[in-house]
Amino acid sequence: TITPQFSVCDILGEIILSDSITRVTNFRVQTPHSVVIISAGIAGINLTRGIDLSSLYNKQTHAVLKSSYIDLDELKILLPPIHFLSGGVTIDLDAEGEFGNLNIRRLALQTTSGSIKSTGSLKNLHDPKNLFINLIIGDSRINPINITQLLPKLNLDFIKTIPSTATSIHFIGSPLDFMITTNLTGDYGIVDLNGTLNLRKKIPEYEFSFTTRKLNFSAITNQQLPKTNLKSQGTIKGNSFDLDNINARLKWEFDSSWVNDLTITGTQIFLNAFPKHFDGLLMLKIESMISYGTVKADFKNRECPNYGIELSCRSVDISKLFSLIFFPFFFFSRTPSSLPFNPLFTSL
């Protein structure tokens, strides 16, 4: 006995087939894990005569999906390009236009604890390999836990502790290769993120710039970290999110910020990430104190990673500097995925 990869349990609805139009009204399709309710029409085709997807490019189309639940693990059987997605979403959709250049009047996605509302356009539906998306997302709220569930292959567990976030996004590109402009606002502060992500390649590539306002790390990690209020800007460029393959560069500059009531000005952080090890350079200006330092972390031994920091300082108030020196180690030691660290060196 052969078990089919995809099966349909129930089909119900009104269908009109003619030479001038194919139309379905309140058409309900149920699979073992999904329910889709759609009213749609495409002018100038008759399904009884077969269909060539590429011929639909300039055909007038309209589609309305009402509170349809779609299991993405089922859908990717039919649409392999979305293989990186998992989980399920409830969809409301209202779209019309040429099949190859479809206008999205409304697209609303609902997960267990988040929602996305958007408008925009889809191009090349007649040629799925070249699907192009232009979506503007607003009045939406995202729970990062949902993102890790929807994108399990990207190993994004580090964002699970981020609180629910009010979101506005402009997405341009294909599902696997896109440019994005994002504003995130939550109890942790405000983050603006702009850049590109390419998932077509075996090892993902990315390049982003970002700014923060009133950023509080203790709210992001949900741990007892020192309180922060960070005004900053930075860039990150690299490939892979996996510790065994990562190759990335981070530049982060701070101004008019504070940590534990210590004022930070003119501070820069440069971090290089390589497979199984990180290194970086710090240039700190904290009130009257000026410090320069290097940091290293070695993850070859996953059971007991090594780390180290060297600092040279002047105008030092040790009682104030203490919390800042050990802030990153306090952070690592309290994140759920961390393991014990073994210091390589520490000197002042």
Q: How is 101-157 classified by DSSP, letter by letter?
A: EEEEEEEEEE-SS-EEEEEEEEE-TTSGGG-EEEEEEEEEEE-HHHHHHH-GGG--G
Q: What are phi and psi of 220, to 5 degrees?
A: -70, -45
Contact in structure between 87 and 145 (CB atoms under 8 Å): no
Contact in structure between 232 and 253 (CB atoms under 8 Å): yes
pLDDT tens column, 115-171: 889 999 999 999 988 999 999 999 888 887 778 878 877 777 777 777 788 999 999
> Which pLDDT value is given to residue 160?
74
72 conformational bin, left if phi > 0, alpha if psi -120 to 50, beta if neither: alpha
Q: pLDDT (tens digit, 0 to 9) for every residue of the chain, 348 residues total? A: 455 567 888 888 888 888 888 898 998 989 888 898 999 999 988 777 777 888 888 999 999 988 788 888 888 887 777 778 888 889 999 999 999 999 999 999 888 778 889 999 999 999 988 999 999 999 888 887 778 878 877 777 777 777 788 999 999 999 889 999 999 999 889 999 999 999 988 899 999 999 999 998 888 776 667 788 999 999 999 999 888 899 999 999 998 888 877 888 888 999 999 999 999 998 888 888 888 889 898 988 878 888 888 878 777 766 665 555 545 544 444 444 444 444 444 443
Q: Which two tokens stand for residue 206?
A: 């990315």
Closest C-alpha among 319, 315, 308 to residue 344: 308
pLDDT of res. 329: 47
**Coil, helix or strand for 159?**
helix
Residue 250: both structure tokens together: 């981070």
- pLDDT at res. 322: 59
pLDDT of residue 123: 95
Tell me how far apart the alpha carbons of residues 209 and 233 are, in angstroms, rounded to a whole number.
Answer: 8
Three-state secondary-structure class, residue 262:
strand
- According to the 3-state scheme, what is the secondary structure of 171-202? EEEECCEEEEEEEEEECCEEEEEEEEEECCCC
d(CA 305, CA 300): 7
The pLDDT assigned to 320 comes to: 64
pLDDT of residue 337: 42
Cβ-proximal residues to 5 (8 Å cutoff; 6+ apart), any chain:
77
Q: Write down how long the chain is.
A: 348
Which structure tokens are listed for 301?
């031994």
Beta bridge partners of 263: 258
